[in-house]
Amino acid sequence: MLAGTGIRKVAKRIALGLSALLLSACGDNQMAYLYGDPRSQSLSVVREQSYLGGPWQTTLVVANVATCQRRYPLEGLAANELRMDIYRPERGVFILKTGNRWYVTELQNCRFQAYKVPPPEPGELVGDFQVQDGKLRYLDRTSAKPAARTAATAPAAAK
């Protein structure tokens, strides 16, 4: 009888330990950053998963360290295929495009707004946020352009 009680206690402890592990199993958090000019300003895209295998919630964080920081949920995005192109029409202002949705944000006062009609001139493509190999990344497109110009002008200079 005593041996049976001991086995039950051990079984209860194992079950309790496994339950605690299941309840504490959390999902994943991923972040990618684009720093403005000055570097105290930034755009961040944050993907959060409440539990492993659960849906992703995507949030845009607009920050100006001296003035403000605001989070804007981005609803209806396919988080596993997330791609957001970032354009800069002027300093401190960014136009974001994901799928057929367009947004504008500015870093001075951390404002954010969806466009009802796509902008005719979004500005220079500076980069994009995208998921690669299951991880969220920011890919800078401004550094690739000067290299392409240099490669294009090098043969002309050789003539």
User: pLDDT tens for residues 105-121?
Assistant: 999 999 999 999 999 88
Cβ-Cβ contacts under 8 Å for 115 (sequence gap 6 or more): 102, 103, 104
What local confidence, expressed as pLDDT, does residue 25 receive?
55
With 0-12 / 13-18 / 19 or more C-beta atoms within 10 angstroms meaning exposed / middle / buried, residue 63 is buried
Q: Which amino acid is at 78?
A: A
What local confidence, expressed as pLDDT, does residue 36 receive?
80
What local confidence, expressed as pLDDT, does residue 20 receive?
46
Question: CA 83, CA 17: separation in Å to the nearest integer?
Answer: 40
Could you read off the pLDDT tens digit of each residue along the chain, which spans 159 residues? Answer: 455 666 777 667 666 555 544 444 577 888 888 888 778 899 999 999 888 888 888 999 999 998 999 999 998 876 667 899 999 999 999 999 998 899 999 999 999 999 999 998 899 999 999 988 888 999 998 875 443 332 333 333 333
What local confidence, expressed as pLDDT, does residue 4 receive?
61
Q: What is the pLDDT of residues 120-136, one digit of tens each?
A: 889 999 999 998 888 89
What are the start-end ranges of the H helices in the chain?
Answer: 2-24, 144-158
Question: CA 41, CA 25: separation in Å to the nearest integer?
Answer: 34
What local confidence, expressed as pLDDT, does residue 17 receive?
56
Instruction: Name the pTM for this structure.
Output: 0.71
Query: CA 113, 119, 66: angle at the middle one, nearest 5?
Result: 40
